Structure 1
């Protein structure tokens, strides 16, 4: 049941929910709590997790499952429907494999001094969010992956604009503009935003 001022979820939005959630506010709260638990899990492991572990498709899916598994039945499972973002569903596995192959090259360049840790992590986060492999939560998931990857390379986690990137507003608008520039191979704005 919704209260005045709350945005109700339609039936399509409610499909796949594990919880009795009826409003956008309830969904945001449930996802926030689930993600907070995943962040605790990840931060405990961040000291021992290797770059090689992070750059495994099964681990990336598991992280998404940990982030959203308390809320959505499909958490950690690639989407099966076309969305307005990302590649067609039948290309997701191939695109993710390509993203991981690019990451291997970027890690080699980092190890030889040709790229910074920030550049590797931001490029990878952008590459995987562009695939849009899951039905929801791709942005938050890719940013957490970027954080864990940059930490595995010896740098502090990103700040990602120091604001709320889920709720519409200036911080989210700046992030989306930086992503669009990155889509055009201009990573400068996204790299700056990640450390802003």
Structure 2
């Protein structure tokens, strides 16, 4: 399981200061709820990419003695299961949906992949914003809705939104749509 944590450092600072960073362990296990059963379990290395660079970052791990779950504390500038940085992905989405002029040379296959993933998550993004108290009506047209949602990704920041979305749904706003279908089938409302 991965938990997104707030990191105020840049990626380079995070890498160089990792050993000195105080990464707070969860008080209770996010799965079984056992209190004080979480212990430090080392770290692992993960790739993170951008247009200009490729880096390997350390990720802290914790272990629940009760349910035997390993928990990774992923820094907020990364997305679970994505090698590209959150900043890169948001920039690509802005390029796709807002037609922002950019000097970026992101390959068209990657842009198509992000477009499909984002379209597959529009319902969840809309539900998330409604749960957060967002009163506005979203456009019915899929293209207009996607454009509006991309604009909202950076409010207040993409890292904050990504973390809150991940805490709310236990997956990222760019997760595979099959995961969402499973989530809806398992968590559907049953009248009483």
Tell me if TM exceeds 0.5: no
* Highest RCO, 1 vs 2 (Cα 8 Å, sep ≥ 6): 2
Pair member with larger Rg? 2
Task: Give the structure with the larger helix fraction.
Answer: 1
Per the normalisation by structure 2, the TM-score is 0.29
Task: Give the structure with the larger strand fraction.
Answer: 2
